[in-house]
Amino acid sequence: MNHRDLVGQQSCNTPLMMEEEEYELCFPQLLNASCKKIKHSYFGTVFLSFILCFISLITVLLNLLLIISISYFRQLQTSTNLILLSLAVSDLFVGLLLFIQITLTDGCWYLGDIVCILYFISAVINTSASVGNMVLISIDRYVAICDPLHYPTKVTVKRIQLCISLCWSCSLGYSIVIWSDNLKHPGRLSSCSGECIVIVGIIEQFVDLFLTLIIPITVIILLYLRVFVVAVSQVQAMRSHVAASSQKHSGTVIIQKSELKAAMILGVVVVAFLMCLCPYYCVILTAQSTRLNNVSAVFVLCLFYFNSCLNPMIYAVFYPWFRKAIKLIVTLQVLKSGSADFRIL
């Protein structure tokens, strides 16, 4: 995977060999050792910075509200919501990383070689964790819809916590391994000061392709196809009143309807995730980033980051409990004694 041209610091600049006044330098004091800035119109620079800043602020704010809601209100601390909490944490970090991206609109990296590789490691950790959380969401909905009677015993809070911990641990270990060579020799590929370049070998690229894209997406699609088939059969059964033969069966239908609604909402989250992630990976894995014009590169990158902002927006639209929790937090009702036990659902 060559992140050289798309993720921030996109251009490969050469040291300045002409007169200083003809170019703007990333580090004017270094003269022939400095990279050149990318020339943008004033309007383009302001517009791009505004868009990135807006996405970053909304991403951080909404995901922070979601984290506080699930962490604080005890009624929301269900197994499914714990996965949403983990996803919100990864999305929050993406929003914070986006602040660094705002400083890169001129094509210069000002934070040094060590921070450069740490930036990419953080990005890979959050991306891998997000993919892992999406797989966990799919498994959770699969068990809830396809095996509802055993769902409370199979999917417990402790098991979900263990799975989430493994997800983040594997993401951390994976990112360190994939970037190990760059960690040993940070900045060795930079041709001038103000450039941030990291490159992964062909073997690592194929491993990354299968572990973070092909295998997870295949699992997600297969599980949701099964969920869709079972959900359609349940809807048909409810319409024909097959399950309404007794009061007990009627209660089961109500539970299944709530689980079905949750599956549909989280299905929207998964589809949005795939739509935002796939264009980015297609560009990276086909090594076509150098052929993109600036507008295309910015669009693909913003789409990738926008997914982290989109997730809590989906929750706010479809989940009444999230809107209620936001209202309680914003109005400072959470400061009242016993507010953690408020009825949210």
Say which CATH architecture domain 20-341 belongs to.
Answer: Up-down Bundle (1.20)
- Going from the C-alpha of 314 to that of each of 214, 299, 345, the distances in angstroms are 25, 21, 17
Residue 247: its pLDDT value, please?
A: 46
Return d(Cα 308, Cα 312) in angstroms, integer: 8
**pLDDT over 60 at 87, yes or no:** yes
Among 50-54, 92-96, 251-255, name the most confident range: 92-96
Range 165-183 average pLDDT: 87
Output 125 or 269, whichever has higher pLDDT.
125
Give every CB contact of residue 23 below 8 A, 6+ residues apart in sequence: 16, 36, 37
Alpha carbon distance, N-terminus to C-terminus of the chain:
44
In the predicted structure, residue 102 carries a pLDDT above the cut 70: yes
> What pLDDT was estimated at residue 161?
94
Q: What is the pLDDT of residues 211-244, one digit of tens each?
A: 888 888 889 888 888 888 877 776 666 666 554 5
Mean pLDDT along residues 21-32:
69
Residue 102: partners with Cβ closer than 8 Å, 6 or more residues away: 49, 52, 53, 56
Mean pLDDT value of segment 242-251: 48
Tell me 37's DSSP state.
P
272 half-sphere exposure, CB direction, 13 A CA radius? 18
Query: Please, what sign has the CA dihedral across residues 325, 329, 335, 336?
Result: negative
Per-residue confidence at 259, pLDDT binned at 50, 70, 90?
Answer: low
pTM above threshold 0.95: no
Pick from 45, 208, 65, 203: which is nearest to 123 by CA?
208
pLDDT reported for residue 296: 57
**Cα 305 → chain centroid:** 7
Task: Tell me what pLDDT residue 256 has.
Answer: 57
Confidence of residue 66 (pLDDT cuts 50, 70, 90): very high
Interval 130-168: pLDDT, tens: 889 989 988 998 898 888 888 889 999 999 999 999 999
Q: Name the nearest CA neighbour of 163 among 132, 138, 142.
A: 132
Domain boundaries along the sequence of the chain = 20-341
Question: In the block, which residue shows the tokens 């539970």?
Answer: 255
| Range of weakest confidence among 21-35, 123-137, 271-285, 300-314 | 21-35
Q: What's the token pair of residue 309?
A: 């902002």
SS3 category, 26: coil
Of the candidates 159, 93, 151, 176, the residue with the CA atom closest to the CA atom of residue 127: 93
Q: Could you tell me the CA-to-CA distances from 268 to 3, 318, 320, 338 in Å, in that order? A: 29, 10, 16, 34
Task: Dig out the tokens for 254 from the structure.
Answer: 């109500």
* pLDDT above 50: residue 252: no
Secondary structure (3-state) at 162: helix
Question: What is the reported pLDDT for 230?
Answer: 79
Q: What percent of the chain has pLDDT over 70?
A: 79
89: pLDDT confidence band, cut at 50, 70 and 90?
A: very high
Mean predicted lDDT score pLDDT of the chain: 77
